[in-house]
């Protein structure tokens, strides 16, 4: 058996980031499990892990032009959907302010002035989409990030217009940027879909409530339709995984787990596949 010297076991930035969050969550779990951390009933290890993960995966926002478009668009759609429903008791100024707040909250805001279960299903699904998009890179929010969403939209637009390059704000994007955005989006979508399917089995709630809970955890938005206190042990573990993945990023986790020498030493001939 060959012993690999320790100096060859290098820690890449994705591994350092992931391990840092794991250690921080573990420390928080241990502290919350101590008798001095609570009065009366002692917190279970699962609840302590859930609370530590939720606290570590903090939320935040950053200001970008694309972010302003998403906020404004979300506010307009929310206003139109809830004008004669949840917004009815408010005065005109209050309706506008509530619409803007609810457009920001799903993108890792964590504050809401309207009870989510009282909203129309279409509005709840709108919030699911906003939570999945998430905040901006450089912030502490989750989701696929607003820049990733902007790249996806620009890629579709460029393909429809039959343009070779993808241009955003007078800058041509590299293929690596586009590939990373598509990979991140697909990994995130697969993770959310898988978690939603499992939560649908473990939790006694309707599908939209389960989907809302899963995407809220992935987007670290901090809002819920009331399912969080009723989660089973398996449900809590699934939400913990979603919060961790949403905070560190699925692509970061994938890079942290990939083999050290994964570059291809050869190239296959190019081929075309019929699409659509």
Q: Which of helix, strand or coil describes residue 34?
A: coil
170-185 pLDDT, tens per residue? 788 888 888 888 888 9
Tell me the pTM: 0.71
* Domain-located, residue 272: no
Q: Which range has highest mean pLDDT (27-41, 102-116, 136-150, 226-240)? A: 226-240
* 26, 69: one domain: no
* 80, 51: one domain: no
Per-residue pLDDT band for 6 (boundaries 50, 70, 90) equals very low
Q: Which among 40, 56, 72 is the end of a domain?
A: 56
* Domain-located, residue 2: no
238-274 pLDDT, tens per residue? 988 888 888 777 767 666 666 666 667 778 888 888 7
| Beta-ladder partners of 167 | 172
* 150, 224: one domain: yes
* Domain-located, residue 90: yes
User: Greater confidence, 53 or 226?
Assistant: 226
Q: Is the pLDDT at 192 greater than 90, yes or no?
A: yes
* Domain-located, residue 268: no
* 47, 125: one domain: no
Q: Is the pLDDT at 108 greater than 70, yes or no?
A: no
* 223, 202: one domain: yes
* 120, 47: one domain: no
What is the domain extent for residue 49?
12-56
Q: Is the pLDDT at 10 greater than 70, yes or no?
A: no
* Domain-located, residue 274: no
Average predicted confidence (pLDDT) for the chain: 77
Q: Determine the pLDDT at residue 202.
A: 92
């Amino acid at each position: 058996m060959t012993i690999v010297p320790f100096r060859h076991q290098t820690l890449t930035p994705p591994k350092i980031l992931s391990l840092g969050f794991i250690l921080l969550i573990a420390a928080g779990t241990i502290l919350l499990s101590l008798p001095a951390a609570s009065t009366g009933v002692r917190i279970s290890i699962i609840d302590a892990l859930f609370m530590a993960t939720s606290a570590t995966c903090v939320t935040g926002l950053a200001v970008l032009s694309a972010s302003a478009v998403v906020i404004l668009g979300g506010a307009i759609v929310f206003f139109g959907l809830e004008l004669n429903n949840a917004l009815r008791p408010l005065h005109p100024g209050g309706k506008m302010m509530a619409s803007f707040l609810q457009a920001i909250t799903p993108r890792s805001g964590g504050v809401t002035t309207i009870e989510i279960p009282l909203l129309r299903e279409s509005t709840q699904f709108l919030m699911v989409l906003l939570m999945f998009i998430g905040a901006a890179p450089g912030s502490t929010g989750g989701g696929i990030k607003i820049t990733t969403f902007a790249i996806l939209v620009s890629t579709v637009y460029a393909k429809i217009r039959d343009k070779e390059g993808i241009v955003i704000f007078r800058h041509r994007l590299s293929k690596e940027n586009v590939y990373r955005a598509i990979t991140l989006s697909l990994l995130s979508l697969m993770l959310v879909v898988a978690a939603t399917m499992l939560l649908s089995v473990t939790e006694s709630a309707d599908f939209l409530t389960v989907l809302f809970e899963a995407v809220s955890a992935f987007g670290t938005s901090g809002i819920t339709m009331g399912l969080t206190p009723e989660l089973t042990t398996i449900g809590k573990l699934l939400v913990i995984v979603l919060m961790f993945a949403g905070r560190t990023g699925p692509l970061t986790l994938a890079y942290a787990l990939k083999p050290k020498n994964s570059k291809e030493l050869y190239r296959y001939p190019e081929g075309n596949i019929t699409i659509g």
